[in-house]
A and B are shown apart, each in its own frame.
Chain A
């Protein structure tokens, strides 16, 4: 595996990062410059298909709102939810799983049983209760989704820690008297990064889709705001008549997911200790 290939994959990651940055910046800048907004209906122009020369580049939605602007707002909301919830999940999940896996014994059992319990709690009533207690706030989405997503990461990290624990260099470190907290921070967690990054890049799209499912049930972002997930959910019901309503947000979502994966790959290649020449 030559250096060229490594650089190329890094370049892919850089490209992906650039695309994401572009999307994120557009989602803030373009709506400010555009004559259209995301909430004013224009009933004479509903569900127009995309046209290159027309007034609406990507067409309009069922209320006649410019789809490009709606999708850009959707990107903003989805990225926000995706990144925030994933950050929460990863931080909580990694710490939980690493501590449980390293500590072993009763602590491990207790922590993982707690994960089991939280896994089984029905999320729909949970979200309903949150919505009722705090109203339809956006940050609620982060909390609700983050609260559900960290569990998977915790399990995986705990599993990886279990096997890492037995590796020679860990034994060596332990013998030389390194304390548990330091052990976890400097030896375990960096070695987990490979798997964690892969999993984190898988989490972002699943978080966005989870939010779509919640929008489906009326528990997601409040209208007229839209997320990519809710745009896809709305478009899926009208697939045969107006495919662009589904295809545009779906392609955008796929692009974002691709980018996160490329970035994940690049990061893993860079950080993986076995990759260094």
Chain B
């Protein structure tokens, strides 16, 4: 196992390099630069700004320069926010996304798995139909509909919870964003678990256990749970990375200072370094969570050899 982990970590280096390169090329292919805007700059001034950010050098040299800075942990200055560095933006924003995102995933698992298992166990009854029907609603109503509704009801009308903003350590500021973010994932998890649990529950192995008279809970927890979770793990691997970084709608609606919004506006404003920095973060998270998912997979299904 440790050799496997080491191998994966080593493999991640060329992967990340490839990600950076692709993103770099893509960003520079898009027309327009960071400094073409409302008020055109005088040529000498534009020259000076571009020189400071090395935008006049040939692309390959900018690329190598970026890699060099990267190796020293410096993600560069932001082009949009001229007195702020990408490191600062990510350091401010990422913990917010991490907290809300991970909480949402945890909630999705804690709520979705039991619902899904129960639905599979009691298939075609109301325990199955109702939650699955609600799950579909959770998936089909986009976050940018649900989130403002939540704010409208719980904050504006009832005044139970704050309407937005981020206060570190304040649980009440987390409730609505986590709820809004987790709803579709509860639905996804419940459906996937139900699907795979149905397959597991119909195997001869489970039927034997039932015939032997083992209790429901025991069967579910000890025999059905682990194999059922396999697709959930596959799904959640990269999804978690996405939930954490790109929940731009939740950030915007609740006023959370996360990096998702910076990612999109950064791309639209050609803030190359900011987008590259967040891409690297995203790539690292994906690799990390994929590794965790594969490890989980091996734990869940002993037949799998890594």
Does chain A bind chain B? yes
How many contacts A-B (CB < 8 Å)?
161
Q: Is the CB of A121 within 8 A of B301?
A: no
Nearest-neighbour CB distance to chain B for A249, whole angstroms, equals 10
The yes or no answer to B64 lying at the interface (CB within 8 A) is no
Residue of B nearest to A104 (CB): B305
The yes or no answer to A35 lying at the interface (CB within 8 A) is no
Q: Is the CB of A194 within 8 A of B199?
A: yes
Nearest-neighbour CB distance to chain B for A194, whole angstroms, equals 6
**Residues of chain B with a CB closer than 8 A to A26's CB:** none
Stretch from A36-44, A51-59, A154-162 at the B interface: A154-162
SS class, residues of chain A in contact with chain B: helix
Binary per-residue interface labels of chain B (221-250) against chain A in the complex, 1 for a CB within 8 Å, 0 otherwise:
000000100110111011101000000010
Binary per-residue interface labels of chain B (160-201) against chain A in the complex, 1 for a CB within 8 Å, 0 otherwise:
000000000000000000000000000010011001100100
Q: Is the CB of A246 within 8 A of B145?
A: yes
**Residues of chain A with a CB closer than 8 A to B31's CB:** 132
**Residues of chain B with a CB closer than 8 A to A258's CB:** 133, 136, 140
Q: Is the CB of A236 within 8 A of B148?
A: yes
Q: Is the CB of A250 within 8 A of B238?
A: no
Binary per-residue interface labels of chain A (109-120) against chain B in the complex, 1 for a CB within 8 Å, 0 otherwise:
100110011011
Residue of B nearest to A191 (CB): B199
**Residues of chain B with a CB closer than 8 A to A268's CB:** 195
**Residues of chain B with a CB closer than 8 A to A180's CB:** none
- Count residues on chain A whose CB falls below 8 Å from chain B CBs: 59
Residue of B nearest to A109 (CB): B11
**Residues of chain B with a CB closer than 8 A to A253's CB:** 140
Residue of A109, A122, A152 near B235 (CB, 8 A) is A152
Q: Is the CB of B26 within 8 A of A117?
A: no
Using C-beta atoms within 8 Å of the partner chain, give the interface range for chain B.
35 or more
Within 8 A of B (CB), among A205-226: 205-206, 209, 212-213, 216-217
Within 8 A of B (CB), among A141-177: 151-152, 155-156, 158-160, 162-163, 166-167
Q: Is the CB of B148 within 8 A of A239?
A: yes
A-B contact pairs, 28 of them (CB 8 A): A109-B11, A116-B19, A117-B283, A119-B283, A120-B286, A122-B267, A122-B275, A122-B279, A156-B235, A159-B230, A160-B231, A162-B304, A167-B303, A195-B195, A205-B139, A205-B140, A217-B264, A229-B142, A236-B142, A239-B148, A246-B145, A250-B145, A256-B140, A261-B132, A261-B136, A272-B199, A274-B203, A275-B202
Given A116-B287, A217-B268, A257-B136, 16 other A-B contacts at CB below 8 A? A116-B290, A120-B279, A121-B22, A121-B279, A122-B27, A128-B268, A155-B235, A159-B297, A163-B230, A236-B145, A239-B148, A240-B152, A256-B140, A257-B139, A261-B132, A274-B203
What residues of chain A have their CB less than 8 Å away from a CB belonging to chain B? 1, 5, 9, 109, 112-113, 116-117, 119-122, 124-126, 128-129, 132, 151-152, 155-156, 158-160, 162-163, 166-167, 194-195, 198-199, 202, 205-206, 209, 212-213, 216-217, 229, 232-233, 236, 239-240, 246, 250, 253-254, 256-258, 261, 268, 272, 274-275
